[in-house]
């Protein structure tokens, strides 16, 4: 698994969301690396990491624990946004002895309804051969119903080659794994796994990813959970309110650093 490690101190593992890469939480990493070893990862099927044709959260949890083993890290804080938050939660549930704290940004440990069908259709329909102009790619995604900010984010996965473009991410693997990505394996009200350590759920005030309906599922799996709401931002809270987001995460981690 591709990763970047910076700083020294107690380890913090940062995990991006769907269609992202290890740069997504770089701003948070720069805040944390003054006192911590920060490891930013490309999740499998993203960035420069290996391609999996099937992906699920227990398998991704094992991959994260394997990375800690590779780096000779016994225990770490783990922070994730969206899909990355689910990976962080799964890692804490499967390997609670390896995790000091969990921070999940705008995601709950529940199954969600599909909400990326337009994105997959737009990405799959983009002609890659014979085109080397990113403006063409941007206009194509916008014409397929993707807003410009999201389109710019998605196009960070596009790599120019001699014959046109190629996707760095594994688009077919993500589509095949999508039911597991939006799903959840540790179903409440009787979850098979729980994490009793410190956990923090941060939601965007304008986002519908974490609502009061999710409280039971969160507390049944993470009984020590705390919650924060960042008003005036949506699902991309770490990008919309970076200063306050970084402060909340760093203060929580510092409070529980061994």
Q: State the Cα–Cα distance between residues 156 and 219, nearest whole angstrom.
A: 36
Strand partners, 79: 14, 103
Q: State the Cα–Cα distance between residues 59 and 63, nearest whole angstrom.
A: 6
Q: How far is CA 89 from CA 110, 119, 164, in A?
A: 11, 25, 38
Question: What is the layout of strands, in order, in the sheet containing 3-6?
Answer: 3-6, 36-41, 10-15, 76-81, 99-105, 199-204, 225-230
Residue 57 gets which letter from DSSP?
A: H
To the query of whether residue 82 is one of the catalytic residues in this protein, the response is yes
Q: State the Cα–Cα distance between residues 82 and 18, nearest whole angstrom.
A: 7
To the query of whether residue 235 is one of the catalytic residues in this protein, the response is yes
> DSSP E strands: which ranges in the chain?
3-6, 10-15, 36-41, 76-81, 99-105, 158-161, 164-167, 199-204, 225-230
Q: At what angle do helices 117-125 and 134-143 cross, to 10 degrees?
A: 140
Scan for tokens 């970076």, then name that residue: 242
- Of 49, 82, 199, 207, the catalytic one is 82
Tokens of 70: 């590779």
- Of 36, 46, 81, 235, the catalytic one is 235
Active site residues: 82, 235
């Amino acid at each position: 698994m591709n990763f970047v490690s910076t700083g020294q101190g107690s380890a913090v593992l940062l995990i991006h969301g769907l269609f992202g890469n290890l740069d997504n939480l770089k701003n948070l990493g720069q805040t944390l690396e003054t006192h911590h070893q920060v490891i930013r990862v490309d999740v499998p099927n993203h960035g420069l990491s290996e391609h999996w044709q099937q992906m699920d959260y227990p398998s991704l949890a094992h991959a994260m624990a394997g990375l800690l083993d590779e780096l000779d890290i016994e225990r770490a804080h783990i922070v994730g946004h969206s899909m990355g938050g689910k990976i962080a939660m799964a890692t804490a549930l499967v390997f609670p002895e390896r995790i000091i704290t969990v921070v999940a940004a705008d995601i709950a440990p529940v199954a969600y309804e599909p909400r990326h069908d337009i994105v997959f259709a737009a990405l799959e329909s983009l002609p890659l051969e014979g085109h080397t102009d990113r403006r063409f790619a941007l206009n194509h995604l916008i014409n397929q119903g993707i807003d410009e900010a999201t389109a710019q984010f998605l196009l960070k996965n596009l790599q120019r080659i001699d014959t046109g473009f190629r996707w760095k991410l594994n688009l077919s693997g993500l589509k095949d794994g999508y039911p597991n990505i939006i799903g959840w394996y540790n179903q409440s009200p009787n979850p098979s796994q729980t994490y009793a350590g410190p956990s923090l759920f941060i939601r965007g005030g304008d986002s519908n990813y974490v609502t009061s309906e999710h409280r039971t599922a969160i507390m049944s799996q993470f009984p020590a959970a705390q919650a924060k709401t960042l008003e005036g931002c949506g699902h991309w809270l770490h990008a919309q309110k970076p200063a306050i987001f970084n402060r909340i995460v760093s203060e929580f981690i510092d409070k529980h650093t061994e």
